[in-house]
Amino acid sequence: MSQPKSFQPPQRRLMGPGPSDVSQRVLDALARPTIGHLDPAFVGMMDEMKGLLQYAFQTNNELTFPVSAPGSAGMEACFVNLLEAGDKVIVCQNGVFGGRMKENVERCGATAVMVQDDWGQPVDPDKLEDALKTNPDARLVAFVHAETSTGAQSDARTLVEVAHRHDCLTIVDAVTSLGGSPLKVDEWNIDAIYSGTQKCLSAPPGLSPVSFSERAAEAIKNRKTKVQSWFLDLSLVMGYWGAGARRAYHHTAPINNLYGLHEALLILKEEGLENAWSRHAHMHQALRAGLETLGLNFVVPEAYRLPQLNAVTIPEGIDDAQVRSTLLNDYNLEIGAGLGALAGKVWRIGLMGHASNADNVIYCVNALDEVLSKMGAAVKSGAAVDAAKQVLASSAAA
C-alpha cells in the first residue's frame, strides 16, 4: 500500500443528476473559520438562512430550516413527524423516489396505498382522486414534484388541491425542483416539503431544506405517540432552529456546510428566483436542440420535462457504461446513468444551479457528438453544437 497523501480531487464538470458544480464563492465560504454552533454570530447566520430558505421555497412558514443530513433525511423527517402507526397514506409513484416514500410510510407502521404512473409520465390527478374516493380514511398524500430518475415534473398545485378536498395533508419531494423550476409552497398550499442542497442550489451534499405549514405543525403537535426518530423529531430540532437568539442544544450542526448553503442561497437571492427559473429553462432548450440534432430522444413528453434533468435514450448498440466512462476519463464530464426500470436505457444529463450555463451545454453536446461518432452510433454528427448555439444566441437576444 502506497503512503497516503492529501486527497486532490480532479476538476470535473458535474452534469449528472447531482451533485452539481459548486461555485468558487461557495467553496470559499466552506473554508471560513469554524466557530461554535451556539456562537451568537452563528445563530445570526442561522436566522438569515431561514429567511433565505423561505424565499427559495416561496413561503412564510416559520418551520423552515435545513436538516443536518442529505435530502433522504429531509424525506424521513417529513414522514416520521406526520405519520403514526396505523395511518393510511396515498403514495403516488412515477419513478424511483416514489418507491422510497413507500418505504418510509411502511417503516412508520403506516399503510401505503400506491397510485402508479408510467416512468417518464407525471402523476395523474384523476388517479389520485379515485384512490382518495376509494380510501376515505387516508390522512396523507405523498408525491414527487420533480422525479429525478426520469426528469418528469408533476402538477404539484393540482395534486395538493385534490388531496385537500379529501382532508389529507401533503408531503412533497422537491429535491430536484427547488431553485430550478417554479415552486410556490404557500401559493400551492403544500403542507410539508423537502429538498437537497446538491441540486439546483449548487451547495455541497449533506443538508436538506424542509418546510412545514401551520397545518402540518399542528398535526405534529397533536401526535398521540412520540416521533420514532429522536434525531429528526421536530419538537426537539426546533429548540435549536426556532426563533430567537437563545438556542437549545440538540446536535452539533455541520457548521461549515451551513456556511456554504448560506452563500448558495445568497447567490440565488441576488440572481432572483424567477431569473434562475428562466435561466434553467433557456439552457434546457439549448441542450435539447443539440441532443435532438444528434438524434437522441427524450424520455419525458415535452409538456412535463424538467429543464434541469434531461433523460435521453441511449442509441441502439451503444454501451452505456463505456460512454460515461469515456466522458469522465477523457473529458472530465460526468453524466448520470438510468435508475431502476431505466437502468442501461437512458442517460440523465443535469443542468442544475451553477452548472446550468452556456459553456456546459456546448461542452456536453460536443463531447457526446465526438464520443458517439467514434463508437459508430447512428447519430447525426457535426451540426449539434451549432443547433445549441443558435438557441443560446436567440435566448441572449431575448
Domain definitions of the chain by residue range: 24-269, 273-397
* Confidence check: pLDDT of 398 > 60: no
Whether 24-269 shares its CATH topology with 273-397 is answered no
How far apart are the C-alpha atoms of 92 and 131, rounded to whole Å? 10
- Confidence at residue 240, expressed as pLDDT on a 0 to 100 scale: 84
- Confidence at residue 396, expressed as pLDDT on a 0 to 100 scale: 54
Q: Rounded mean pLDDT of 194-219?
A: 97
* Confidence check: pLDDT of 311 > 70: yes
Q: Rounded mean pLDDT of 287-292?
A: 97
Q: Rounded mean pLDDT of 138-158?
A: 97
Q: If you ran DSSP here, which 8-state letter would residue 307 be given?
A: T
Neighbours of 292 (CB within 10 A): 16
Joined together, the cell numbers standing for residue 10 give: 480532479
Q: Rounded mean pLDDT of 115-127?
A: 98
- Confidence at residue 397, expressed as pLDDT on a 0 to 100 scale: 47
Q: Whole-model pTM above 0.75?
A: yes
* Confidence check: pLDDT of 269 > 50: yes
Q: In what order do the strands lie in the sheet with 346-350?
A: 309-313, 346-350, 336-337
From 368, 391, 373, select the one nearest 307 (Cα to Cα): 391
Determine the 3-state secondary structure of 209 from DSSP.
strand
Question: Which of 129-143, 298-312, 356-370, 378-392 has the weakest average pLDDT?
Answer: 378-392
Q: Which residues of 374-395 are buried (b: 16+ CB within 10 A; e: fewer)?
A: eeebebeeeebbebbbebbeeb
Distance set, CA 241 to CA 65, 186, 233 (Å): 7, 20, 12
CATH number of 24-269: 3.40.640.10
Q: Which fold has domain 273-397?
A: Aspartate Aminotransferase, domain 1 (3.90.1150)
- Confidence at residue 239, expressed as pLDDT on a 0 to 100 scale: 83
Reported as a pLDDT band with limits 50, 70 and 90, residue 244 is: low
Give per-residue pLDDT as tens, 220-236.
Answer: 999 999 999 999 999 89
- Confidence at residue 20, expressed as pLDDT on a 0 to 100 scale: 97
Per the prediction, the chain carries an average pLDDT of 95
Q: Rounded mean pLDDT of 229-252?
A: 84
**Residue 41 — φ and ψ, nearest 5°?**
-65, -40
How far apart are the C-alpha atoms of 298 and 170, rounded to whole Å? 30
- Confidence at residue 343, expressed as pLDDT on a 0 to 100 scale: 94
Reported as a pLDDT band with limits 50, 70 and 90, residue 243 is: low
- Confidence at residue 249, expressed as pLDDT on a 0 to 100 scale: 85
From 144, 258, 273, select the one nearest 208 (Cα to Cα): 258
How far apart are the C-alpha atoms of 14 and 16, rounded to whole Å? 6
Alpha helices in 58-107 (DSSP H): 71-82, 96-107
Distance set, CA 243 to CA 166, 240, 247, 282 (Å): 33, 9, 8, 39
